[in-house]
Each structure stands twice: as C-alpha cells, then as structure tokens.
Amino acid sequence: MGVADGWVEVGDRVFVRRYAFYDQNIGVILGDGEALVIDTRSTYPQAREIQEDLQELTRFPVTVVVDTHGHFDHAFGNAVFRPATIWGHDRCVTFMERTGEARKPAIARDEPALAADLAEVLIDPPDRTFAESATIAVGGRAVELRYLGRGHTDHDIVISVPGADVLFAGDLVEHGNVPFFGDGYPLDWVATSAAIVPLVSGVIVPGHGDHAGRGFAEGQAVSFERLASLATDVHTGALSLADAIAEHPFPDMPPEHARSGFERALAQLRGELD
C-alpha cells in the first residue's frame, strides 16, 4: 500500500488511507448511515482533506471520531469534525490540555510550512473517554477501544471491529524509522506491545507506514524487550550508552532516535517518569 492508493479496504467496510505527510494512516469504519474516523491529522486543512477524500468512499456523515492518542498529527484536526463525538482515553484529554498549546511553537519550528495552519488550531480533546475499554457504536456497528498500558504515550489506545480482523494500533506500532520516544515509556512498552500480539487476527494498521500482520507486531514486541534489556544494562553500568545505541534493535531507526528511546528508558529506571 502506498500514498497514491487512495482508500484501501483492509476489512469489511474498514478502510485506511495513507497520507504522505508523516506517512500517516487514517482509518475509516462505515456503519449503517454513519462513518467513524480514526485520527484527524495535524491541521484544519489536513483534516478537511480527509473529509474531501471521504467523498470518494461514502456520503455518510462522520458522527464519531476516535483519537488513538493526543499527539498533534493525530488530534489537531479534531475540531473540523465537530459536531461528531470524539472518543479517546481519559489521559488523552489531560495530555492535550497540558501540552497542546505549549507545543505549537516547537512543532512550527520543526515544520515551518505548517506554522500558519497550526496557529488557527483550537485544542479540542475527546469529549467521551474511558480508562480500560469501551465498546462504542457507529451506525449500529460495534467498535472496541482498548487501553493496553503505557507505551508511546501514557494514553495510547487500540481499536478493533469485531468480525473485521483489523486492529488499529496508533503509534504503539510503527513502520519505518519510528516509533517516536519523546513522550514514551519504553519499559512499559514491552508489556503493552506484547499485549497487542494476540489481538492481531488479520491486519494491523500502524499509526505510520505499511500495514502488516501479526508477525510484525511480534517483531516489535521483541524489539521493545531488547531495548529495555539494553537500557537496564546501561543503568547498571554493564554497558555504555554508546554501545547500547550501536546495538539498538529497530532495523530502520537512526541512532539519534534510538538514543532518545534509551534516554527515556533510563529516566524510567531512575524513577523520574512516574
């Protein structure tokens, strides 16, 4: 699947579209007369592009949005989809309220082309939340939301549709040079990524990059276990940070990115992130 492929049906009336910006996946679940959108992208123009692209797929209104987590590229387009109900984890709300405005200047520095569009974004967190799991409905169709533990953030959720064999994993699972560790809990990510594996019966859709199968989820779980093990060795003095970075277990990840993973893991081991 590539960015030019448009909507790809990855399960019964479950679609993914891949956007070139950040190689991001946006999900759509169609029920009877209603549509659910998973993640809303970074800005209002990007969110409106989803709405326009949806015209190729359905005339159903988007009545439900699910934010996999509160990072800007997943949730800054939320307001465009109102009056839809927006679902997310309890702490997605806290995270967006605490960090949303404050992060805009830093994001604009990294992505100058987005600066003007970011300025108009109103931080609009989920209005329906849960702590462990929730079954919601779109057009009479059940959709399951689950929190599996801390990982990429303290509030990532996964989304599945009974009978459709698709799991949307947000940024808990990523293809390419990601995952991003800046808000992550690498030690918890070990158990969280392992908990994802049995939930994958067919396709797993990561937040960014190619969709995959259970083998990929298993591979990521092993990589997180290895990362945590190397970090523990650095913490106890058995290994240098440089050697740990050189041995990091994510095949496409640049060293500086791996460094941030180890730094977060070491901060956890020092008890600084609890």
Binding site for Zn ion (CB under 5 A): 71, 171
- Smallest distance from Zn ion to CB 70, Å: 8
The minimum distance between CB 180 and Zn ion, in angstroms, equals 6
Euclidean distance between CA atoms 9 and 254, whole angstroms: 32
**Strand (E) or helix (H) holding 30:** strand 24-30
Q: How far is the CB of 136 from Zn ion (least distance, A)?
A: 22
Closest to Zn ion by CB, 71 vs 146, is 71
Q: CA–CA distance from 245 to each of 154, 162, 235, 257, 258 (Å)? A: 24, 40, 13, 9, 6
Of residues 22 and 60, the one with the C-beta less far from Zn ion: 22
Mode of pairing for the β-strands spanning 128-130 and 85-89:
parallel
Residue 171 CB, nearest distance to Zn ion (Å)?
4
Question: Smaller CB distance to Zn ion: residue 217 or 244?
Answer: 217
Q: Of 252, 255, 258, 261, which is closest to residue 182 (Cα–Cα)? A: 261
What are the backbone angles phi and psi of residue 38, rounded to the nearest 5°?
A: -105, 110
Give least dist CB 69 to Zn ion, A: 6
Nearer residue to Zn ion within complex by CB, 111 or 233:
111
Rounded to a whole number of angstroms, the minimum distance from the CB of residue 183 to Zn ion is 8
Distance (Å, rounded) from C-alpha 31 to C-alpha 218? 31
Q: Report d(CA 9, CA 56) in Å as an integer.
A: 13
First to last CA, the chain: 39
Closer by beta carbon to Zn ion, 40 or else 63: 40
Pairing of strands 35-38, 62-66: parallel
Nearest to Zn ion of 87, 164 (CB atom): 87
